[in-house]
Structure 1
């Protein structure tokens, strides 16, 4: 399988499948409480009508728009074909947990998404500030996901979630066996419109 198809299937595909929605035209700065929420739902507000717009590779002229269209069978379905849910363990799509509690640095989990594909996740940072073109956010969680493509290459996907906003950045790179990382693609939040996360 070509690396480029793996990037789309697992990197951007997983990100978009997460419900990475789209649309709100103005930049926003989120003012949040001084304490981050322990509610996982606060890090990906799921409600029909919530929208996000992402720049692809930093280009203003290349964007991905996603909107939550409906809720069905316990999952929120978006305009990119993604299906997301929040349960007592974390934020998930139909195959994997993208963010899992507790929201502490070093927390790790594994998702077996097929007989030949195992993804390993770890929280790199929690409760830290982050920025995107859409604004500055006080409480963010950064997660790294790793999936071995072959004997020489591991796909590394870094997700950043902001409290009350959702996914604000996705960075996909290919890590070679010698430790060299080759950037593949990335998304950053340009604008959004979400209902109150219920904190």
Structure 2
């Protein structure tokens, strides 16, 4: 999670038991619920002690960053990178900023004032769309863009992709010049993950 904070700041056995008399109706309901994305923000970054995510840096299998949740304290989940995340009634946050807020719909915007000289502007670009990473393909994802003006000619742009039931699957950081040109800086993609109780 510190990795996520740094990237944002720097420019970085459920089973269905079905009785014989109601098979079709129950299966239809299950299929419907599987096809709709969750409205619960916490589903887009499952936080529990022991959860782990491994990210490839710039697409390189030999450069990875491992993030593991070590403890929960004062409502925040602390990881091995020094990061702290929480889910509250407004969204998913670290100590300074909301990384994802509701409603989960394209166009939702919010602002985080992280210091007297730094304001981050967030916007949901897409919601409920499929996404991919080396760790797999995911049906319900949310793509967020965060912008932070560095100086008169440069804005850092962070594209964050969250997958329902998985967490952060991709981070792309670029520097946008005043003429609109984007220069890629770094990117992370989820290579593997292990969530408590999910069997993943």
TM-score range, shorter chain: 0.7 to 0.9
In 1, distance between residues paired with 2:34 and 2:167?
16
1:102-141 to structure 2, matched below 5 A, reads 102-141=103-142
Q: Which residue is equivalent to 2:148?
A: 147
Q: How far off its partner does 1:33 sit?
A: 1.3
In 1, distance between residues paired with 2:140 and 2:9?
29
Q: Give the secondary structure class of the aligned counterpart of 2:150.
A: strand
CA contact (8 A) 2:8 2:158 kept: no
Q: Give the secondary structure class of the aligned counterpart of 1:192.
A: strand
In 1, distance between residues paired with 2:91 and 2:46?
12
Q: Which residue is equivalent to 2:20?
A: none
After superposition, the CA RMSD in angstroms is: 1.5
CA contact (8 A) 1:45 1:164 kept: yes
In 1, distance between residues paired with 2:113 and 2:9?
15
Q: Which runs of 4+ in 1 moved over 6 A?
A: none
Please give the TM-score of this superposition, normalised by the length of structure 1. 0.84
Q: How many residue pairs get matched?
A: 173
1:1-199 to structure 2, matched below 5 A, reads 9-12=9-12, 33-196=34-197
In 2, distance between residues paired with 1:160 and 1:147?
18
Q: Which residue is equivalent to 2:26?
A: none
Gaps of 5+ in 2: 1-5, 13-32
In 2, distance between residues paired with 1:111 and 1:127?
24
CA contact (8 A) 1:7 1:155 kept: no
In 2, distance between residues paired with 1:120 and 1:37?
24
Q: Which residue is equivalent to 1:15?
A: none
Which structure has greater helix proportion? 2
CA contact (8 A) 1:127 1:141 kept: yes
CA contact (8 A) 1:50 1:194 kept: yes
In 1, distance between residues paired with 2:7 and 2:39?
31
The 1:69–1:103 alpha-carbon spacing in structure 2 relative to 1, beyond 3 Å, is same
Q: Give the secondary structure class of the aligned counterpart of 2:112.
A: strand
